[in-house]
Amino acid sequence: MLATFLIEISFAAYVLWRYKMTTITKLVVSILTFLAVFQGTEYLLCGGMGVSGGTWSRVGYSAITMLPPLGLHLMHALAGKRSKYLVPTAYLTAGAFIAYFTFGVQAISGYTCYANYAVFDTATGGSSLFFGLYYYGWLLTGLGAALKLASDVPKRKPALYALMFGYLGFILPTATVNLIDPETLSAIPSIMCGFAVILAFVLVGKVAPESIAARNPGKSLRIKLPF
């Protein structure tokens, strides 16, 4: 967790240093920062810095709640398209869940630290189901939006396809782990964000360079990755 935090926060700092600030680079930095925040809070769950694990859990959950709308926003920014309803709706639903995790007394009632991941105890009832639908719903919506945007704006196809690869890089491994060991279902946020370091590498190694190259055809800033 600590190593992943250092990778992601270093990547965010690198993008800030390397590229001119545009909507795309701001979104890339935001995604990397929120990923790092979750890993940092997860590392500190077991009493780090004198703050209770419950508080760190709320901060961490709020951080990962922002990732689906930021990813959807980035896809539209890469394509140079405005989203009148889809992206604003994603941000509004994220805000509702962040308010719930921040102020809901029993929103996160406990946690357990294991060697490789953490398990969060969320409120009983429909809240976990709704959050799962929110999270996977927007992730799948993002994949569909990226496919459509790539066909509409072919010159941005490499960056959009790379972002889709980054999405699949943490969705598929997490689903595989859950199928192999159903007991890990309560650890989905921890496992998913662990695999999301793949997304971090894609954002820095492919998405950011491709977006710059698309605006400056004669200038190649791409880093060679195996896709």
CA end-to-end span of the chain: 26
Give φ, ψ of 119 to 5 degrees: -105, 130
Closest to 214 measured CA to CA, from 164, 142, 154, 137: 154
What's the confidence (pLDDT) of residue 226?
42
Task: Identify the bridge partners of residue 119 per DSSP, sorted by sequence position.
Answer: 112
1 pLDDT band (50/70/90 cuts)? Answer: confident
Number of neighbours of residue 48 by Cβ within 10 angstroms: 14
Confirm whether 101 is domain-assigned: yes
Confirm whether 107 is domain-assigned: yes
Question: What mean pLDDT is predicted for residues 101-116?
Answer: 73
What HEC string does 10-55 produce?
HHHHHHHHHCCCCHHHHHHHHHHHHHHHHHHHHHCCCCHHHCCHHH
Confirm whether 205 is domain-assigned: yes
Closest to 142 measured CA to CA, from 198, 79, 72: 72
Confirm whether 104 is domain-assigned: yes
| Cα–Cα distance measured from residue 116 to residue 97, given in angstroms and rounded to the nearest whole number | 26
Q: How many domains does the chain have?
A: 1
Tens digits of residue pLDDT in 16-28: 999 888 999 999 9
Distant-in-sequence, close-in-space partners of 92: CB < 8 Å, separation ≥ 6: none
- Mean pLDDT lowest among 4-8, 41-45, 104-108: 104-108
* Gyration radius of the chain's alpha carbons: 17
108 pLDDT band (50/70/90 cuts)? Answer: confident
Q: Is residue 41 scored above 60 in pLDDT?
A: yes
Confirm whether 198 is domain-assigned: yes
Confirm whether 192 is domain-assigned: yes
Q: Which domain holds residue 38?
A: 2-215
Q: Do 23 and 83 contact (CB within 8 A), yes or no?
A: no
DSSP per-residue string spanning 57-120: HHHHHHHHHTHHHHHHHHHHHHHT---SSHHHHHHHHHHHHHHHHHH-TTSEEEEEE-SS-EEE
Q: What average pLDDT does the chain have?
A: 83
What's the confidence (pLDDT) of residue 219?
44
Q: Do 79 and 47 contact (CB within 8 A), yes or no?
A: no
Higher pLDDT, 184 or 71: 71
217 pLDDT band (50/70/90 cuts)? Answer: very low
* Residue 147, SS3 per DSSP: helix
What own/partner pairs with CB < 8 Å and gap ≥ 24 does 185-188 have? 186/119, 186/120, 186/121, 187/114, 187/117, 187/118, 187/119, 187/120, 188/132
Q: Is residue 70 scored above 70 in pLDDT?
A: yes
CATH number for 79: 1.20.1070.10
Confirm whether 221 is domain-assigned: no
Confirm whether 6 is domain-assigned: yes
